[in-house]
Chain A
Amino acid sequence: MQKSLAKHFPLFVAPTLIAFLISFLIPFVMGVYLSFTEFTTVVDAKWVGIDNYVKAFTANTDFINALWFTVKFAVVSVVSINFFAFITAVILTRGIRGTNFFRTVFFMPNLIGGIVLGYIWQIIINGYLYKYQVTLTYDAKYGFWGLVILMNWQLIGYMMVIYIAGIQNIPNDLIDAAKVDGAGPLQIIRHIIIPSVMPAITICLFLTLTNSFRLFDQNLALTNGAPARKTAMLALDIYNTFYGRNNWEGVGQAKAVIFFVLVATIAYLQLKLTRSKEVEG
């Protein structure tokens, strides 16, 4: 095969590769380079070493606040989403009536775009808070929990579907054998179901973790950082740094590099951790 196919690289790979280069690879390398410069349009970049990185942390507390907010948000969301998704998946694999309908309903929010989602929940939350004569902007806590609720609503169905597939893949003999041995439902869950669906857990954790960290659209729509940028997550803070003011592009790019390293590291660690716990067969 090598001989006849190999020389067709240009036909099979080139188009995708060129698009990939243009929209991802070259901008990525440029991004890293630019993070060490001060620039407005790309061609006027002046080297400033790690100045931008220092400025990101010291010029104001926006970046650090965004960092903490994002970490807290990610932790809470990842735990809650996976918890609810897993439980729902267990329930919906018992063959109760209407399983298909429930699955349809729970998954549906996932299809709706971030901006639209943000505004839907803004109206609902503000409507609810109106009873207490406050709005979302009153306290950063409201924005935080608003985002958590929104994220849960959007992703529980998605993760649930993956967990269902994982659970359905468990051979029945295993469960039957355990039942014969006298194991109760909770024990079955702990010792049989969870280890067997580890691959599903891996992927669900990965997806919820990376999605939570990189959240932008919903953040922009729900709170836009109010009050006073306290509910701005990392992606929004970086966007504001770039486009919200002049002469901070270099800092924005530096923040983006830090953001990337953070996400990549966390994803890598998480994958490594859960992969090692996966049970084969």
Chain B
Amino acid sequence: MAYSRQKIFNVIMFFIMSILSVVFLAPLFIVLMNSFKGNLFIADAPFVFPSKETFVSFNNYLNGLSKTGFIKSFGWSLFITVFSVLVIIIGTSMTAWYITRIKNKLTKFLYYLFAFSMIVPFQMVMFPMSKMANILNLDNPVGIIVIYLGFGAGLSVFTFSGFIKSIPADIEESALLDGCKPLQTFFMVVFPILKPTAISVAILNAMWIWNDYLLPYLVIGSKYRTIPIAIQYLKGGYGSIDMGAMMAMLVLAIVPIVIFYLVCQKYIIKGVIEGAVKF
């Protein structure tokens, strides 16, 4: 009796979840659909499938690409995200190892400082930070990596520390006693163990940096545009950009991240869980 009740329940749930899935995917599909419609037929009827009259094939994409320099933006987003994440992973893992293994007042203070920074809203520091970046010549795609390291440090150091705390220090100690230099010990002993956490941290940071708008806008916005900045510029109302091109650019903004997600899904989900559990 209980078995078939369970089965019915499961079937019902399956249907509900399926409908929900369609609802969840609908917005993305709507944008995709509208990217193939002519400019004037979008705003008033976004839910209508392209018809013979309204279909414009890839015109919106070509138009949008040529007018917005999207490809350049894609390049900048990619460059900044990849290198910032690399720098963050290496820098913060090393820092986390140090402040977890060396227990003194300073390292304890640093740990809490890093944790604290996770709560501070960006608006609190945005103005002085953009000034500092400008003064120190960091307001370019290479300099912004330093800014991201500083900003990403909080969450990353915190997460790495949490994980390192749970690793017994014996192997490292014996390596050091055997005469290995600390740097060697770190990369040959500790980092391999950290790999899963490192991947999680990398993914969380990558997602944040790829989608970030305000920080790059304030620091490098007028000279270099990342994808979020390029999209915002479109809506700002340049004489000739239209809804059709906007839809096409939105699709292009979403596609890379969706591909990334489908490929690395396992790691991403794991990263989310790890980030949460270690809290």
Chain A interface residues toward B at CB < 8 A: 1-2, 4-6, 8-9, 11-13, 15-17, 19-28, 30-31, 34, 41-42, 88, 91-92, 94-98, 101-116, 119-121, 123-124, 126-128, 130, 153, 157-158, 161-162, 165, 199-200, 202-204, 206-207, 210, 213-214, 216-217, 220-221, 234-235, 238-239, 242, 249, 252-253, 255-257, 259-260, 263-264, 267
Contact = CB atoms under 8 A, between A and B. Distances in A.
A199 B276 CA distance: 9
A252 B127 contact: yes
15 contacts: A1-B172, A12-B94, A12-B97, A16-B150, A19-B91, A20-B154, A24-B120, A42-B128, A101-B21, A108-B258, A130-B44, A199-B277, A216-B213, A235-B123, A256-B126
A103 B133 CA distance: 40
B40 interface: no
Contact of A112 (B119, B153, B257): B257
Nearest to A150: B27
Contacts of B231: 115-116, 119
Contacts of A110: 207
Given A11-B183, A119-B250, A17 B110 contact: yes
B189 interface: no
Given A96-B13, A102-B21, A203 B279 contact: yes
A24 B125 contact: yes
Contact of A263 (B97, B121, B257): B121
B136 interface: yes
Contacts of B1: none
A153 B147 contact: no
Contacts of A242: 126-127
Most chain A beta-carbon neighbours within 10 Å: one of B27, B101, B123, B128: B123
A23 B132 contact: yes
Interface residues of B, number: 96
Contacts of A121: 27
A162 B277 CA distance: 8
B128 A5 contact: no
B123 A239 contact: yes
Contacts of A220: 213, 232
A4 to B, nearest CB: 5
Interface string B10-42: 100110111011001101101100100000001
B224 interface: no
Interface in B162-211: 169, 172-173, 176, 182-183, 186, 207, 210-211
Contacts of A13: 94-95, 98-99, 110
Nearest to A39: B127
B246 interface: yes
